[in-house]
Each structure stands twice: as structure tokens, then as C-alpha cells.
Structure 1
Amino acid sequence: METTARDFNQNASKILAAAERGERITVTKNGRPVAVLSPVTEEPVPDHPTDPMGDDDIPVFHSGSRIDWSQGRGSYLEGFGA
């Protein structure tokens, strides 16, 4: 379903009822989409992405031990684009 910002302002309760029934509503302003209203699901939405990003290995940080920089830093910077 699609509605204009003006129509949403004037018919908010009807549009919210449609979302409650499971419809996904795109709100447009001057012909451009500005918001999407969708029904709330029972699944919690994470505050941040929880899936891995990319196919590369993630760098491993070792805490508690000092790093010996005397041999250079090349191997320590692997995975950081160096």
C-alpha cells in the first residue's frame, strides 16, 4: 500500500489499522518515498547487525600479553587492509 504524507496525516488511524492487519505502507512526499510503515513482528529487532559482514577473516585481538614490535608490524596488521 502507498499513501501520501498528507493522506497519512488526515487518516493516520485507518492507515495504522492497515499496518496492524499486516500491510506494509510506503509514505510518499512530493512523489518520493520517505518512510515505510510495517507491522511489528514478534521477533526482536537487534539494535545493530548481528551477522558477519563480508567473507574475510576477522582480525583476532589478544588481550593481556604485550606485542613484540621489534620484528615489524606487518603480521599484526593483516586483516586491516595493510
Structure 2
Amino acid sequence: METTAREFNQKSSQILAAAARGETVTVTKNGTPVARVVPITGDDVPPFPSDPMGGIELPDLGLPELSDDGIEEVLKGMGS
């Protein structure tokens, strides 16, 4: 299926519904293809929301491991 940018703007919900049915829609501007709306398969979507920042690597600062109780004690000593 092919549509113009103007049609895409005016009929985006119908075009998205076509993609949901499995159709690939090419969007053109002045006759030149500029975008493609494709259906998403189950393999394309992670089973759970992913972090938009990706994984975070924290440097090892050589600090001692603290339990929840240990953290509470440190915070109490800071006047919180």
C-alpha cells in the first residue's frame, strides 16, 4: 500500500489499522518514498518495558556493601 504524506496526516488511524492487519504502507512526499509503516511482530516487542537509557554500568568504587539497616544508620547519622 502507498499513501502520500498528506493522506498519512489526514488518515493516520486508518493507515495504522492497515499496518496492524499486516500491511506495509509506504509514505511518499512529492512522489518520493520517505517512510514506511510496517507491522510489528511478537518478536519485535520485548516482553517487558525496556529502559530508554539502556543498561547502566556503575564503576566499582571499592565501598563496603551496606544492608538496608546499615543505610538507615548512616542516614540517621546525617541528621535526616
TM-score by length of 1: 0.52
| Partner Cα separation in structure 2 for residue 14 and residue 35 of structure 1 | 16
**Match of residue 44 from structure 1:** 44
Q: Report the number of matched residues.
A: 45
Residue 34 (structure 1) shift: 0.2
| Partner Cα separation in structure 1 for residue 41 and residue 28 of structure 2 | 23
| Partner Cα separation in structure 2 for residue 9 and residue 44 of structure 1 | 25
**Match of residue 21 from structure 1:** 21
Structural RMSD (CA): 1.2
Residue 11 (str. 1) matches residue 11 (str. 2): yes
Structure 1, unaligned stretches of length 5 or more?
46-82
Q: Secondary structure at the match of 2:33?
A: strand
Aligned CA distance change for structure 1 residues 39 and 30 (closer, same or farther; 3 Å): same
Runs of 4+ more than 6 Å apart = none
TM-score by length of 2: 0.54
Q: Of Structure 1 and Structure 2, which has the larger fraction of its residues in helix?
A: 2
Identity within the alignment, %: 67
